[in-house]
A and B are shown apart, each in its own frame.
Chain A
Amino acid sequence: MPRIVVDVMPKPEILDPQGKAIVGALPRLGFTAFSSVRQGKRFELTVDGEVTEEILAQARNAAETLLSNPVIEDVVNVEVVEA
């Protein structure tokens, strides 16, 4: 069944405390190549049947109203993934 993937990231201007903790942990494990980490969220919305334009529009709307908070987050990607 097809899924619609929605990716949400903290806004660039907002310090991401979780990302900061992760970037601090990486070098302790020998991963020294990464100067910054930002942690976001990936949602997978399963659709029974075909993904129509109307359903995709619903997903975009849900991404803006419920899945993300526009004060602190951006919806960076909404795409259909065929199973």
Chain B
Amino acid sequence: MTELPLIGEAVAVAAHPQLAGARIGVVTFPGTLDDRDAARAVRLAGATPVALWHADTSLGDVDAVVIPGGFSYGDYLRAGAISRFAPLMAKVIDAANSDAKLPVLGICNGFQILTESHLLPGSMIKNDHLKFLCRDQVLRVENNTTDWTRDYALGQEITVPLKNQDGQYIADEKTLDALEAEGRVVFRYVGWNPNGSRRDIAGISNAAGNVVGLMPHPEHAVEAGFGPEEGSGTEGLGFFTSVLNKIVGDNK
């Protein structure tokens, strides 16, 4: 993926020779916004980002996939509803459910696409206050055993940007109880609930922990000086180093 050096060179913070060989796919749909930021986050974490197009029919040899945020298909019908049927999504769904359990991260619109794909339960509806909201948001790590959160401490609080209009996570009570019981609530909003999400849920995982989705944007908090002012500003980088450590660990 070619990247314009908008804010300087993307130099990996934790460059480890084993990591550079790790290839993380970043999917672009019509209307995706944050694919370049996601690719940059992958590079900053030390791996190689691979551009994937929604109409592709193969994932190539990627070790993990990030489905970034934006407004794919203009959020027409429902956020993520049309993207879910893109040719590449069939491959992502198969790979995520396969024995190899491909790590998949859905951010914001990517999370919405994962729920529409039934890789994750529940759905997102309009924020309870109906407004688009853009702010820095504190999250608490509720599960640090998933492929995307293993570099965080349990209970750690991280600050990353949040920006959406359809961010209210909902599921029926039975599903919510099951998510809690199985430790699949991965992130909760701290301080306030910005959108009416059930049980303050900001992000969840599938049962195996290889698929994680969340509404806030860790890929916007990976570079000192450009992330949130609260905290280190780079508290989203752990998502990307987590999956790299998982990949490298698997290849040992």
Contact = CB atoms under 8 A, between A and B. Distances in A.
Interface in A37-55: none
Nearest to B80: A69
Interface string B170-204: 11100000000000000000000000100000000
Given A69-B78, A71-B115, A72-B170, A18 B122 contact: no
B170 A66 contact: no
Contact of A71 (B123, B127, B168): B123
B133 interface: no
Given A17-B125, A17-B127, A18-B126, 20 more contacts: A10-B125, A14-B125, A17-B128, A17-B129, A17-B130, A17-B168, A66-B77, A66-B81, A66-B82, A66-B85, A67-B77, A69-B78, A69-B81, A69-B123, A71-B122, A71-B123, A71-B170, A71-B171, A72-B125, A72-B170
B116 interface: yes
Contacts of A71: 115, 121-123, 170-171
Interface of B: 77-78, 81-82, 85, 115-116, 121-123, 125-130, 168, 170-172, 196
A17 B121 CA distance: 21
A66 B129 CA distance: 27
Contacts of B78: 69
A14 B126 CA distance: 11
A76 interface: no
A13 B176 CA distance: 15
Contact of B130 (A10, A13, A18, A72): A18
A1 to B, nearest CB: 23
B123 A21 contact: no
A15 interface: yes
Nearest to B124: A72
Contact of B123 (A13, A17, A67, A72): A72
Interface string A2-29: 0000000010011101100100000000
Contacts of B81: 66, 69
A14 B123 CA distance: 11
Nearest to A43: B77
